[in-house]
Amino acid sequence: MNLKRVVVTGIGALTPIGNTAEEFWRGLSMGVSGAAPISKFDASKFKTQFACEVKNLDVEQFIDRKEARKMDPFTQYAMISVDEAMTDSGLDLDKIDKSRAGVIWGSGIGGLRTFQDEVTDFALGDGTPRFNPFFIPKMIADISAGFISIKYGFRGPNFCTVSACASATNALIDAFNYIRLGQADLFISGGSEATVTEAGVGGFNAMKALSQRNDSPETASRPFDKDRDGFVLGEGAGALILEEYEHAVARGAKIYAEIVGGGMSADANHITAPHPEGLGASSVMKAALKDANLSPESIDYINVHGTSTPLGDLSEVKAIQNVFGEHAYKLNISSTKSMTGHLLGATGAIEAIACILAIKNSLVPPTINHFTDDEAIDPKLNLTFNKAQSREISYALSNTFGFGGHNCSVIFKKHN
């Protein structure tokens, strides 16, 4: 079958280190940490009292107040990032076939703030079932995709992917497949998350998943460091416009990069812990390479899942060495979660954008907060510690792995 080519023609980002794609990239290239004490609620009684929050955001600058009240923050974040991506793409909505334009959006948790607030209000009341009529539509994970399609009139495939921290990459791969199979011309895809709430922080604390480095939040996310003690919770959104190549060329679109392959796998091991030898991570990277018809030696940069957890980072390094062999020592590898924290279901979208902008700018963003080598990690690997490195990047691979053993990898190619 003659598969179509798929390119990225617009990007938008709302992150803890920048509220636009340009600001996000500036923060990445400079090695800025987005972690700080939590401002959204009193976290003084929590084991973890900090997070990577979106900062200096006035939602009503982007969304009408009445409309915003119908949305959980995760949908507000989605709409803001999509607005930037659509503007960036230069799409003329009057000149496209909207029946061949779709939305596939990822969120691992959905409207946690809405769920928490509504259930708390009920529990503290007199038992009378008084609920906001927007409770369910604000909470459900698919609603961001619905709002996006309504705003832009896209009548093609429309759904949400939920695969924990792999959700946004899942969404991108699904959109990629629809387009290359000729079933659509373009998609808005990406992911959003807004879980910096009492329930979010308390729940992840109970799992012992979060860093508790309250005395130094800005250095708490330290992937591959010997003293890493868990991930830092983040929030935000990333949006990408994926478009069939000929469709993009015909309208004179700016092209950031091409998507050339995607892979999915399962660890089939544990509900939260990765396979200790990285078997699922190995198989998903191999699947992405096979899908792209590339050898491991083609890859220049890997944006790793790299959450700063003791087990996860080590498992991923083992997988990279298994898949890439001696070429692993020629790769640049970095975890941008050291700066953004972990955006859960949105993480794959902003890390895809990080890969695309790394290709565009010939610059590998760093893994910040490295202080002490972990003797269990091969010192010959270039984990791009503490400072960005200049490098021509022809192909970049992005890994995202989720609770439940969900793994996704996607490969981007430099567009010449």
For 271-288, write each residue's pLDDT tens digit. 989 998 999 999 999 999
In the set 52, 160, 165, 355, the catalytic residue is: 165
Predicted local confidence at residue 1, as pLDDT: 74
Per CATH, the number for 6-250 is: 3.40.47.10
Q: Residue 245: name the closest of 416, 414, 412, 7 by CA.
A: 7
Whether 165 sits among the annotated catalytic residues: the reply is: yes
Determine phi and psi for 228, rounding to 5 degrees.
-60, 140
Q: Which residues of the chain have pLDDT under 50?
A: none
d(CA 350, CA 172): 11
- What integer pLDDT is reported at residue 168 of this predicted model? 98
Tokens linked to 329 = 């020592």
Q: What is the pTM of this model?
A: 0.97
Q: For residue 25, which of 370, 399, 358 has the smallest C-alpha distance?
A: 358
Token match 């604000």: residue?
138
Which pLDDT score, from 0 to 100, does residue 287 have? 98
How many residues in total does the chain contain?
416
Q: At 81, is the secondary structure helix, strand, or coil?
A: helix
Instruction: Tell me what pLDDT residue 152 has.
Output: 98
Instruction: Domain 262-414: state its class.
Output: alpha beta
Q: How many CB atoms lie within 10 A of CB 389?
A: 15
Confidence (pLDDT) at 416: 83
Domain with CATH 3.40.47.10 in the chain: 6-250, 262-414
Identify the H or E element spanning 283.
helix 279-292
Structure tokens at 118: 């509504």
At residue 71, the pLDDT reads 98
How large is the angle between the packed helices 198-206 and 112-123, nearest 10 degrees? 100
